[in-house]
Amino acid sequence: MSLAKDKPYYPNPSDYEDDVHSWAFEQAQLLRLGRFSEVDLPNVIEELESLGREIEIQLETAYCDLIAGLLEWNAAPENRTIELSKTIRNARFSIRQEERDSKSLRNRAKAIVDEVYSQSVRQAMIATGRPRSVFPIACPYELDFLRNPDSFPGDAD
C-alpha cells in the first residue's frame, strides 16, 4: 500500500536555475509540510547564506552613504541641500531597520563603520571636489551620533 507522501508534492518542481522565485516558494512549502526529503537542500543553504550577506551589504551601504553625506555636510556647507539632508535621513532610517532586524549586525556596527569609512571619504571627495587631506583619517562620528535621526555635524557648536 502506497502512502500519499510517497508521491512528490510537486510533480514538476521549479528549477532553481530557471525560476528562483517559484523555487523559493515551493521550498518553503515543502519545509512547512515537513517533506524534508524533497527539499533542494544545497540550494536552500546557498540562498540562506546569500540572504545573510545581502543584509550585511545593505547595512554597509547605508553606513557608507550616511558617513559620506555627513562628511560632505561638514566639508562643503554650500552643498547643504534638502537632497543631502534626505540622503542622510534615509540612510539612518535604513540603518535603524537593518539593525532592528539583525542584532548581530548591530553589535558589529563599529567594525562596519571602520570598514566602510575609506569608501565614504572617496564618495565625499567626489561630491565636494575636496582633497583627501580635508577629511579626518578615521571616522569622526560615534555610533550614537550616526544612529540619531536628528543629529547633523555642527549641531553642538
Digit-coded pLDDT (tens) for 17-33: 888 899 999 999 999 99
pLDDT above 70 as % of the chain = 95
Average predicted confidence (pLDDT) for the chain: 92
Domain boundaries, the chain: 55-147
| Mean pLDDT computed over 47-51 | 93
In this prediction, residue 155 has a pLDDT band, given cuts at 50, 70 and 90, of low
> CA 56, CA 107: separation in Å to the nearest integer?
12
The pLDDT assigned to 13 comes to 85
Higher pLDDT, 12 or 95: 95
Question: Is the predicted pLDDT of residue 48 greater than 90, yes or no?
Answer: yes
> CA 24, CA 16: separation in Å to the nearest integer?
8
CB 33 within 8 A of CB 9: yes
Whether the predicted model's global pTM rises above the 0.85 cut:
no
| Mean pLDDT computed over 100-125 | 96
Q: How many CB atoms neighbour CB 37 within 10 A?
A: 9
The pLDDT assigned to 3 comes to 52
| Mean pLDDT computed over 86-100 | 96
> CA 150, CA 32: separation in Å to the nearest integer?
43
CB 123 within 8 A of CB 64: yes
